Amino acid sequence: MNIKKSFKKLAEHIVDSTALLIPGTPLFAAYETLLVGMSKQVSINSKLLAAGATYAGLGFLIKSGRDLSRKFFGIYTSSKERVQNIHDAIYFAAINIPINLGFYVSSGERDLYKIAVGTGIGVVMGAVLGPINGYVIDAFRDLAGLHECKRPTYEKYVKNYNVYTKAGIAASSLIASLAMTTGIYTIPSNTHSESRQTKNLAQTIDTNYLNKSSLEIKLLQYEK
C-alpha cells in the first residue's frame, strides 16, 4: 500500500512539474533572447536549470504552495473560473521574483540591468501565465488519471474524452512547447547586432585616435 501511494505521489510530482514547464518555457525563452538581449547560451542554461530544479523538488514546492493557498482561501476546481484565475495570477507573479533572480544568477548572468528587467518581466508574465499554469496543472492531473478536474470549462470540453485521447492531448502539449522553444532559439538574437555595434565603435575610436596622433606629429614638425 505504501509503495502504491509513493508511486502515485511521484507520478503526481512529474505530472505537476511538466505542467508547470509547458506554458512558460517558450515564452520566457522568447523574451530573454529577443527582448532582454540575453545570450542564447545563458537563456538555455536558465531553462535547463529551471527544468532540473522543477523536477528536483521546486515543482513540488510551487504546486504545494498553490494548493495550500487555494485551500486557505477556499478555492476549488469547481469554483468560478474568474476566482481561480485571479488567485493564480497573483500567486505565480509573487513566486516568480525569487525564482527568476535565482535562475539568472545561477545561469551566469551578471548584468544587474538585464537581471532586473528579466525579473520584472518575469513577474508580469507570471501574472499573465498564472491562470494558464493553474489550468494546465489541474487539467494534466485529470489527463493523467490522478485527480478529477471539475473546472467548468474543462468539464464542458475535455473531461469525457477517453484515456487515449487525453494522453494524446498531454503529449501534444509537451511536444508543441519543446518545438516552439527550439524554434525561438533558431531566431537571430540582438546580441550579434550589439557586438557589431561595439566593434564599429571601437574601430571609430581607433581611427579618431590615429587621426589625432597624425595631427600632433604634423604640428610638431611644423613647429620645428
pTM listed for this prediction: 0.73
Whether residue 183 is predicted with pLDDT greater than 90 in this model: the reply is yes
Helix (H) or strand (E) holding 205: helix 191-223
CB neighbours of 31 closer than 8 A, spacing ≥ 6? 118, 121, 125
Task: Taking residues 179-185, report their average pLDDT.
Answer: 94
Summarize pLDDT for 38-64 with one digit per residue, the tens: 888 888 988 898 899 899 999 999 999
pLDDT of residue 152: 85
Task: Taking residues 203-208, report their average pLDDT.
Answer: 50
Asked if 160 and 11 count as a contact pair (C-beta separation under 8 A), the reply is: no
pLDDT of residue 185: 93
Of 95-104, 174-183, 208-217, the range with the highest mean pLDDT is 174-183
Q: What is the rounded average pLDDT for all residues in the chain?
A: 82
